[in-house]
Each structure stands twice: as C-alpha cells, then as structure tokens.
Amino acid sequence: MSETRIYGRRRALPTRATEKPAATGTDTAITRRDVLAGRVVKTGAGPAHAAGWDDVDKVASAAGGGDLYLKVNENRMVIKILGDGPFDVCASHWIDEIEDGSKSVRCWGTPDCPLCAIGDKAKRFSAFFDVVSLEDPEYPALKVWDVGIKIARQLKEIATDEKRGPLNRGDLYFTIRKEQKKKSVEYTLERVKERDLDEEYNVSPLSEEALQQFQAECHEYGDKVKEPLDEEGMEEIVRMLMDD
C-alpha cells in the first residue's frame, strides 16, 4: 500500500538523463550460505536493494516509527539478536520537500530508479535485524533494529569472527546506547556474555521457550519492513522535483 505524502517547495536538479545505464553482469541468486560465508554476490538489483553482509560494505534509512522499531536512547539497553545477519539491507533517498508522510524513500537499487536517474543520490543506509529488547526485563519485546553503516560493520566483524560469532549464538547478548554529540549522534555497541547479564545489568537471560517463541515470529530473509514505492509513486515525486 503506497504511503500518503504532501509535497512542498521545489528544488533544482540535473536534467533527467535520456539514456539509462545498462545493467552489467548476470543475476545470481543469493543464498543464506553465501551471506554467512561473506562471499561477494552480484545481483541485477544492485547494491542498494539486497540483504546480506556483502551489501553492508557496498550500500552507504528507512524511517522508523511506532512500536515496530527498537528505540535506542542514552541508557545502555540489553538486546538479543535473533538472526545470523540482516534480513534486509537498503539505501534510501531523503526528500525534504515531502511535507506530510515519510521523507525517506527506498531506492530501487537498479539503473531504473527514477530518483537516481535525475541525480538524487540515495544517501541513507539501513540494515535491519530482528532483536529482543530487554529494556524492561520483565517484558521482553520483539523489535526491528534499524542500524547505520558503522554499527552494521561492527556486527559483521563479530558475525564473521569464529571466536566471537555468530550474532545469534545462544550465550551472546549485546548492549547498545547512543550519545548526542555537538553535530552528530554516536552509538556504542558492546558484547555481553549470558553469564554476566544478571551481575552487570540485573537482567535474566531469555528462557529457551521464550527464545523459540520470538524466533518463530522473526522476519524471513529478504523480507522488507519498508517497501519501495511503485512506478507511479516514484514518478509523482520526480515530477514535483523537476517542475519549475
């Protein structure tokens, strides 16, 4: 279902290219084994519209809201990552002229992306993980964690390290917190062993039964929490941006 957006002021953008660059290479199916092995996988969809660890290094944000997304704050929060990697990775265009509705527009990630074709670069990166938030240890909650490129690369290093990974190892939890700097927000991620949860954070580990219940509700690999706009929706934005 398309999002409702109200458009405001216009801006000057380069003239739309008359010819679109041709896709190169052949389409290759991405398997879960490829993702875990960290192999480079080429797809016709391009780097902005594919899930997996290799794309974390290639795609340089989906707009979060509501109870679906994990809200990281200044207090250190304990989380349990449920998957062995991101179930979705994408880049998004940020359209400031949208006055009502999400300003974040998912890039198609192909040479056919209408916004890319007029010179509007996709600048926001998102990798999506299913996690259990233990912010309130009495009421653990399943959330989608939308992470930027810096945290995504830290997670990849852990996931592909034989001694520290995988991310969803039974005895492995994480803490995450944010800190507001003068002109930016910085996130701090730390690994926590299950045996240290109670003593250091006053948090009890998830029971095997609870963990299985959360895992049953996880997204499938390749699911999207933020669907791309259809051709009509994209063209509406392009017309607004290109209009005098």
pLDDT tens for 37-72 read: 333 222 233 333 345 555 444 443 333 345 889 999
Judging by beta carbons within 10 Å of its beta carbon (0-12, 13-18, 19+), is residue 191 exposed, middle or buried?
middle
Domain ranges for the chain, please list them.
26-221
pLDDT (0 to 100) of residue 223: 92
pLDDT (0 to 100) of residue 54: 53
170 vs 160: CA distance, rounded Å: 16
Going through 3-109 in order, the beta strands assigned E by DSSP cover 6-7, 77-81, 88-94, 98-100, 104-106
Burial 129-150 (b: 16+ CB within 10 A, else e): bbbbbbbebeebebbbbbbebe
72 vs 179: CA distance, rounded Å: 10
This model's pTM is above 0.95: no
2 vs 84: CA distance, rounded Å: 31
171 vs 183: CA distance, rounded Å: 36
Question: Is the Cβ–Cβ distance between 82 and 131 less than 8 Å?
Answer: yes
Least confident of 77-81, 122-126, 142-146: 122-126
pLDDT (0 to 100) of residue 168: 95
Question: Taking 70 as the threshold, does the pLDDT of residue 25 lie above it?
Answer: no
Query: Average pLDDT of 197-211?
Result: 95
Question: Which tens digits make up the pLDDT trace of 112-131?
Answer: 899 999 999 998 899 999 99
Cβ atoms within 10 A of the Cβ of 123, count? 12
